[in-house]
Amino acid sequence: MRQGGAPDMDPFFYLILLAGAIAGGSCGLLGVYLVGLRLPFVGIFISHAAMAGTIYSLLLGLNPLWAPALVSAGAAASLAAIRPEKSRLDSNVALAILFSLMLGLTFLGIGLVQGSRSEVLGLLWGSILFVRKGSVLVISLAALAFLAFAFAFNKELKVLLFSRTIASATGVHETFVYALFLALCGVILAVNLPLIGGLMIFSLITNPAAAAYQVCRGHRAVVAASLGLGVASAVGGFLFSYYLNLPTGACTVLTSTLLFAAAAAYRTLAGRAD
């Protein structure tokens, strides 16, 4: 990324930092619910649905942004139909099977691409260094939409996190809210996928939220901490990569993992501070 020393940052990098911060914050916020629902596999399933959607959109000549967003949102919302109490399969096992289906479709799509495959292979790791203003605008809008959703349905989402059985038995519109949540998940992941890639998205969903759940008391604190840790992972990872001349994706993943380790260590050393 740079050669020696600690140079001044090119103004273009501020756009990258902004994109990273928005993507990290979105994933951090999303993670609060996916990790809280004990469904981090949903994140990886949806991100691969988005990846498959993007590849087939390229193959079919469809809009490479909205077509995959629709595919992943639809795939995600359909997950609301999986009811743990009605299925003989554990939710995570069912998701793992669906994930393998998406992975198969993705690699089939990659195999069908004619000519250079660099664009589709870039979906695995993302290409945040080539971000454009239009992409930043799109991920900002998606992030705002999810933030508005989380704020508007805050009370229902809390019951869902605590117990879907209680939510269902006591008249909370849990299926509706859950389906809406999953559809928005699909949109967020689809629009962030070209920037941060399918593999990195998973760590940005899981690690910041898991760290926040370790050290926070109260749902509001968890949301704020996870969002902040998501931003810190993406921005910190980029800065490490810039100043240490290392791959950006790997630095982001390792930063988020280090933040989780720090949170876990704090919780252990401070005892159960609840």
Shortest Cβ distance from residue 97 to other proteins (Å)?
A: 20
Residue 19 or 157 with smaller CB distance to other proteins: 157
Alpha-carbon span 73 to 46, nearest angstrom: 8
Number of residues near other proteins (by CB under 8 A) = 33
Name 240's Cβ contacts closer than 8 Å, sequence gap at least 6.
246, 251, 254, 255
Dist. CA 12–CA 65, nearest whole Å:
23
Residue placing its CB nearer to other proteins in the complex, 63 or 268: 268
Binding segment for other proteins (CB under 8 A), chosen from 15-23, 108-116, 125-133, 152-160, is 152-160
Contact by Cβ (8 Å): 6, 243: yes
Q: Which of 60, 218, 269, 270 binds other proteins (CB under 8 A)?
A: 218
Residue 222 makes contact with other proteins by CB under 8 A: yes
DSSP 193: H
**Interaction between residue 156 and other proteins (CB under 8 A):** yes
Cα–chain-centroid distance for residue 230? 10
9, 65, 147, 161: which one binds other proteins (CB under 8 A): 161
As to burial, measured by CB atoms within 10 angstroms (0-12 exposed, 13-18 middle, 19+ buried), residue 135 is: buried
**Residues lying near other proteins in the complex (CB under 8 A):** 36, 38, 85, 152-156, 158-159, 161-163, 165-173, 175-176, 213, 216-219, 221-222, 272, 274
